[in-house]
Structure 1
């Protein structure tokens, strides 16, 4: 059984005549008849009966046609997939993002990206930076946004942002009256802190130690957005990644710059030694424009 024979059978069923089938396939009428005869020889049952000058499909042919239709639908899906790959690189985009970038930045990038790529299917997972890095290595993600503490072995990286942290606090907190927060201002205050393995947390602790300030962390969390939420409903303050400022309630949380600066660094990460698809390149461009 050859594909051209099955194609002739499909064309003859949907058109009802060898003349129309020949037109659909761009071949002669005798060529269609020959292909049908060859297919009947291959399947070893009759496909058409001639009734009053017309070719009528046999019951066996109708059963066979169901399977042929399914295979043709599969071919249509393959053609659509090929068109998607040709036009967009791949038909799906898999993104992993750290929590700070997942509050507003990445959703905004996805929204803008989909305006020009509405048919692309996107998966987006919010994970720890280490999990995002591992997902890139394992082929789970096409692009990731992670903090700079990741193990960079086995991935390609591109610097995304280096931003000075800000201190989040309740609107009525005494520190809200200050234009800039300094290390000595945090002495003897309840603090909301990122987890000890976070690089920005480590930079803050080093700076506080240099100013003889012993931090009193009452809550530790991996997420700057969580620090914002806790600051909104309590009396503690915490240093956060400025990426999450837009997620906070503007009338409940105040933000003040911290000096000397504590830098939050983030990276875009990609599978190593793999050419980036058009989708990945365009989404990267969208992300970079929103920094």
Structure 2
């Protein structure tokens, strides 16, 4: 089955008729009818039933349409990328990141990057670590910024910095320039903890550190009174006075303006890594972008109450 036959079939499914497909593809109706007949012959399937002058898609056609829709969606992506490259000769970056990093880290990093590379366009998508790793492998994104996690050997993982855990709860934030005393992890009331569920590596690091503070050998893993899958929601729950949250410093800096933010002792941190398909090359723009992210990771968090 040739690409032209697929195009005709897809157009008929989209428009509902051969005449509509012919008009859409700028063909004569006879040429479109011939191409559709060739498609059915090549596949050995009846794609449409002719009923009273109308085309009714068969079950096989409906199933094939799902796949051709994916194919043409990918073609549209290629066209959009080509347009971006024409508009921005300096290049185009497709960046994936965790929502927590997207809120607290990316805005400043992108501002720094745009100062150095104003001609490069940037497309940002968010997702969890597993989703972003898959998008790297399928080359849907150029790079993913995530917390350190086990990855496929088909991915390259580069550490570019670290994120620390901080304690958030309802209350007046510290005065400008005033440092808050650290919260001792072992003394926290687990019944008031707003936890992050799932397999999030940062949340798992917090749970491991909490268990390690217990002197007993068979200390149970702490169980949250409230649980969510996103740090931003945990911050919102804490703001309502429903308990305290342990989140990364970048989410705290972006979401915690009306919350009391304090460091945690012992310090809990996780590496921030850049994932990329193992054989992919890094453009000059991508290298400069990662430098901008690394620079922001080394800076003082925006929440001045969090001391180094």
Q: What is the TM-score normalised by the length of structure 2?
A: 0.59
| 1:82 positional shift | 11
Q: Report the CA distance shift for 1:235/1:93 in structure 2 as closer, same or farther (over 3 A).
A: same
Match among 203, 217, 227 for residue 220 of structure 1: 227
Partner of 2:237: 230
- CA-based RMSD of the aligned residues comes to 2.8
The 1:172/1:267 distance shift into structure 2, 3 A limit, reads same
What residue number does 1:271 align with?
277
Contact kept? 1:97, 1:146, Cα under 8 Å: yes
Indicate how the Cα distance of structure 1 residues 116 and 182 shifts in structure 2: closer, same or farther if over 3 A, else same.
closer
Q: In the aligned structure 2, how far is the partner of 1:129 from the partner of 1:187? A: 29
Greater C-alpha radius of gyration: 1
Structure 2 distance, partners of 1:117, 1:209, is 45
Counterpart in 2 of 1:133?
133
Match of 1:258 in 2: 264
SS of residue in 2 equivalent to 1:169: strand
Mark the CA change 1:105 to 1:209 in structure 2 (over 3 Å): closer, same or farther: closer
Aligned to 1:240: 247
1:58-116 alpha-carbon deviations (Å, 9 max, x no partner): xxxxxxxxxxxxxxxxxxx99x84992xxx3xx21100011121003112222232234
- 1:38-70 CA-to-partner distances (Å, cap 9, x unmatched) read xxxxxxxxxxxxxxxxxxxxxxxxxxxxxxxxx
What does residue 289 of structure 1 align with? 295
Structure 1 range deviating more: 222-231 or 269-278? 222-231
Runs (5+) with no aligned partner, structure 2? 1-81, 174-179, 298-308
In structure 1, stretches of 5+ residues that fail to align are: 1-76
SS in 2 for 1:165: strand
Shift of 1:235: 2.9
Pick closer, same or farther for the CA change 1:261–1:167 going to 2, 3 Å.
Answer: same
Name the counterpart of 1:14.
Answer: none
